[in-house]
Structure 1
Amino acid sequence: MPRLPFQGIFSRPFRRRFLRAVAAVGLLNLFSASVFAQVPATRVEPEGQVVIGVAQEPTRFHPLQRRTEVDDAVHLNVFSTLWSLSPEGNLVPDLAVEVPSVENGGISADGLEWRIKLRPDVTWHDGAPFTAEDVKFTIETLANPSYPSPSRHGHELVRDIEVVSPTEVRWRLERPFAPYLAILAWAGIAPQHILAGVTDPADPSFNNSPVGTGPFRFGERRPGDHVSLVANDKYHGQGPFLKQAVLKYIPDQIGLKTQFITGAVDAVLIPGIAPDLAKEVERAPGVKVHYSPNQFVEIIALNTQLPQFQDPAVREALYLALDKNTVFNEIYPTGTKRPTESFLPEQSWAYKKDLPEHRFDLGAARALLDKAGWKPGADGIREKDGTRLAFSISTIAGDHLREQFQQLLQQDWRSIGVDLSIKNAPSAALWGDFWRKSQFDSIIVGLIVPIASDPDPSNRFGSWAIQARGGTGLNTFQYDNPEVDRLLREGVGTFDRERRKQIYFEIQDIVRRDLPYLPLVQGRSIEGTKNGLVGYQPNLGYRVNAWNLRDWRWEK
């Protein structure tokens, strides 16, 4: 059996400490260290195409800027990372020759000095060589406070990046940071030779024609219709086996289902097959339905800076007046969703299962609002200090199950004196500044908190991650709790997995009490492929199961 990467040369106390560090980011499995393990002996000529139906439209293709889950279907196939995550949770080298560790000399004993060895055989889609300069440029850009990166979390700790040679780069971390291996598994490397000269981050030219090192080259985007990817015949790894992959935008899930069972699309991914339609699809000939766990936790996000939501009594009353039983029994078929009180998926090692359980109690909700001074007006809608208890709720237009849920909320919340209006929009409009800069009142959303396999929730709950206040991250609730901030910093600064677990347990307790969002369910992915299409494989480490299109192919 292969040895763990940290065995052999360091003291036992340190080995134990660093092994806990690796476990703390969820990556205790063996690292793959083979330099060219992904390259087949003989390259197979790509053939055929696959059309993948998605109900959200991919629009953002810049690896250093903000994007959504559906955009990942493009990013994960056009761009490469230093290492990737296998479905088993292993880190697998991609642009790097090996995953750095203490034993192989890639990480120092204190976890601060990093040395990354890179493959010499990688080229960009335009033919330029990939080098260590690209890695340096990527990390420095992501860490730049004036650049609209998706998050500076972890990258802002990198100091003294040095290009040792075209195939080696090293840097120093300002302080220990447990999740950084996992964060880099999601960080697509960008081409320095193209982007270094672009001074305006809003320049759309690269987004319109991105250049990567991944298994597919960007083909075209027809807004409102599709994005096509074309096989990269110079790819450094295995595959691709398809000549082309097309992401077909079909904005409502009923239409998506119809095009799948009639053969117009070959696979259904984000957001997948609607739970109430899954049995019908299962009965259709020539297709397979795949059920798999995912990291999405469905919630009602609240913009806590709205006057109505600044009162914790309002947030608690809304949760008391939320009829989860009807949601589970009448809207979502049995077994497709699981109730949750946490922001972490139950598969996470930091998931806390004994959080206070939700109860549906309209009387208690009314009493709580009465006590807090929210009095019914002439029309039955409550008011306090001149503020009406009225706000909107949004979700993706065409998601018929969420739209049914909104109608249920309107009814129940009206009964406690809340005026709820519905403000839905297509995904491309919803997940831009409306979501990221907290321009919504409330919104039904599927949230993924872990980054790769690490449970650190700093990007969602740290006060520094509020874009509406100039931060980078996804704290769209505008949640600001100094105690949570302190715990978040402590959680990423220790390599002790048990200590990290206790910290994240405490954060889950506080967030459950504060309710910056109303937790609903953890879902399962319900996705479909045509018979004869092979290579589809769920992977909890990513937000989309198109992570490995390089392996997809048609059976002969």
Structure 2
Amino acid sequence: MTDRREAESSGGGAVSRRALLLGASVLGLAPWGSQLQAQPAPKPKGPPSAPKGQAVIGYSQEITVLHPLMPANEVDQGVWWNLFSPLWALDQAGKFVPVLAKDVPTVANGGISADGLVWKVTLREGVKWHDGRDFSAEDVRFTFDLIRNPQFRTRSRAGFSLLEDVKTEGSTISWRMKEPFAPFLSFLAWTFIVPRHLLDGAADPNATPFHANPIGTGPFKFVERRTGSHVLLAANTAYFGEGPYLERLVFRYVPDLNAMYTQFRTGELDYIGLQGIPPNHYAEASTLKNVAVHLCPRASVENLTLNLAHPALKEKAVRQALYLGMDKKAIVEALYYGLPLPASSFMPPQSWAFNDALPRHVHDPAKARAILDAAGWKPGPDGVRVKDGVRLAFTNSTTTGNPTREQAQQLLVQDWAKIGAEMTIKNMPAAVLWAKFWAESQFDSLMTNTTYTVASDPDVMHRFGGKSIPLKAGTGSNVSQYENPKVDGLLAKGIAVTDMAQRAEIYREAQALILDDLPMLPIFQSVQVEGTKVGLIGFANNVNVLSNTWNAGSWYWA
């Protein structure tokens, strides 16, 4: 199948560990945390009275999914925030703010019943779709129904499957939950409403003209998508909210991070985020007069996602040995200049449910070899261990064009060769990797930067729940195919309990179990260096979204 085509790993041979470890000192660089300071931005003059100018946004992964309810990645969501609107959103301080809704429903304001079962939302009036049609409560009800439609390929039905008695009356929509679902407020902050008049009655909800020509209510309208090049949006002058203050947004696809940085340095790009400014270019970027550098903690975790259906990786002892054999410190210090924090969990430390009592990772190759010996994995003639005819060999894949991550892969090849495991690098373009290769668990292992939680809620049922394996259930993001009944029980309890302290304790226990099972090997929590051209006003880092273009409707040039 074309989705499983091998991509040759970058040339140049193995990376010298000593060269990498000495790289920062040779360049005369201090760790990022001690050196990085954002360039001072000019004092804002205030936004223009009408949209003016454009912002060219550099993404190293191609935008592939324009339907905001379907499985996608961070770059796609970066576009969705500008084309579509949710009922409410989370701002950079973690506060819920109304968008299509007039107010965010709470128990205090009567929008949610005390038992968490009955919800009532009053919508803004006067909102229009980009084609001029009126937005209504029926669009919200249709969006909910589409997500619940078993024929529709949605990211997750969590929470929506609990809805019943959904009613609309004028500008109000109400529903009853079959049982309490604590994360639903956060889930709705990531649920973009779609137009009923364009999608209702489609023979195949997964293939409609809307997929290629989306119509939303957001601050920008869709103009065009050119494969391998860009997505172009234009100002929606009938937008109901703040802005937009720019005439156009251009999301440019530049698959190589070094090339993308060069375009940013020379002024061709106005903003680069997500994977951001590569570590080897940070020192130069921090000195450029036309650039503002932003230190952006993210909720995501750099990790090795393992496919537990693999004949070797399915064994817990193997996963434990790989984790002990991984030199996280070398990766963090040599390749990322010491900025990221080594991670022991999928949960970011900023979360109120983070378990700070988890055992810290120790790099111990000797113990790793002992574990494999005890489990019956014996070294073969080529040094690779074998058990019952199965070699301890697997591939690792990530998106092409990321030299820092490719160097991290090479370090892991060396780390794991020392304990008798063979890892082969098999990288591929993002559009290929994030298609069936990911969704149908066709990989052995992936090196990715993953946000496991949804908005600000610690629920991870879609990532680790036994019923969230897309290959089996047709929905969810548990591509590791991880199953642990005890974890399933904790995650089910975590969404039913409303008390925050109780929920925190539940998720702390789940983190401990998942760390013990190791369906993913956490490496570090991301602290991303992003850049904007000096004079671009309005950029704001928000750990509660997947892309910092979330508020581009309020950006403008000084």
What TM-score does the superposition give when structure 1 sets the normalisation length? 0.90
Give the partner amino acid of 1:355: L
* Residue in structure 1 matched with residue 63 of structure 2 by the alignment: 58
Would the aligned equivalents of 1:291 and 1:524 in 2 still touch at CA under 8 Å? yes
* Residue in structure 2 matched with residue 213 of structure 1 by the alignment: 217
1:267 and 2:271 matched:
yes
1:324 and 2:328 matched:
yes
Work out the CA distance in 2 between the residues paired with 1:288 and 1:74: 22
* Residue in structure 2 matched with residue 118 of structure 1 by the alignment: 123
How do 1:424-503 and structure 2 match up within 5 A? 424-503=427-506
How do 1:47-196 and structure 2 match up within 5 A? 47-165=52-170, 167-196=171-200
The CA deviation at 1:204 is 4.9
258, 277, 284: which one aligns with 1:280: 284
Which secondary structure state, in structure 2, belongs to the residue aligned with residue 360 of structure 1?
Answer: coil
* Residue in structure 2 matched with residue 228 of structure 1 by the alignment: 232
Aligned residues: 512
Which secondary structure state, in structure 2, belongs to the residue aligned with residue 440 of structure 1?
Answer: coil
The CA deviation at 1:43 is 8.9
Give the partner amino acid of 1:140: D
Would the aligned equivalents of 2:276 and 2:530 in 1 still touch at CA under 8 Å? yes
1:395 and 2:403 matched:
no
Give the partner amino acid of 1:97: K
Quick one: percent identity of the two aligned structures? 47
* Residue in structure 2 matched with residue 406 of structure 1 by the alignment: 409
Cα deviation, 1:360-397, whole Å, max 9, x if unaligned, reads 12221111111111112222211111211111001111
Work out the CA distance in 2 between the residues paired with 1:424 and 1:291: 28
1:348 and 2:351 matched:
yes
* Residue in structure 1 matched with residue 302 of structure 2 by the alignment: 298
Would the aligned equivalents of 2:167 and 2:175 in 1 still touch at CA under 8 Å? yes
C-alpha change, 1:43 and 1:360, in structure 2 (3 Å) is closer
Unaligned runs of 5+ in 2: 1-46
Cα deviation, 1:259-317, whole Å, max 9, x if unaligned, reads 01111111111211112321211112211100021101110010011111111110011
Work out the CA distance in 2 between the residues paired with 1:376 and 1:220: 55
1:201 and 2:205 matched:
yes
Unaligned runs of 5+ in 1: 1-41
412, 418, 421: which one aligns with 2:421: 418
Which secondary structure state, in structure 1, belongs to the residue aligned with residue 295 of structure 2?
Answer: strand
Which secondary structure state, in structure 1, belongs to the residue aligned with residue 57 of structure 2?
Answer: strand
Work out the CA distance in 1 between the residues paired with 2:206 and 2:52: 36
Work out the CA distance in 1 between the residues paired with 2:133 and 2:225: 24
Give the partner amino acid of 2:373: D
What TM-score does the superposition give when structure 2 sets the normalisation length? 0.90
The CA deviation at 1:253 is 1.0
Would the aligned equivalents of 1:43 and 1:239 in 2 still touch at CA under 8 Å? no
Which secondary structure state, in structure 2, belongs to the residue aligned with residue 431 of structure 1?
Answer: helix
Cα deviation, 1:410-449, whole Å, max 9, x if unaligned, reads 1121222212111101111111221122111001111112
Q: Which has the higher contact order (CA 8 A, sep 6+)?
A: 2
How do 1:369-388 and structure 2 match up within 5 A? 369-388=372-391
Work out the CA distance in 1 between the residues paired with 2:174 and 2:123: 11
Cα deviation, 1:434-467, whole Å, max 9, x if unaligned, reads 1122111001111112211111111111111110
Work out the CA distance in 2 between the residues paired with 1:453 and 1:467: 23
Work out the CA distance in 2 between the residues paired with 1:214 and 1:164: 24
Which secondary structure state, in structure 1, belongs to the residue aligned with residue 528 of structure 2?
Answer: strand
Which secondary structure state, in structure 2, belongs to the residue aligned with residue 455 of structure 1?
Answer: coil
Which secondary structure state, in structure 1, belongs to the residue aligned with residue 144 of structure 2?
Answer: helix
Work out the CA distance in 1 between the residues paired with 2:242 and 2:329: 47
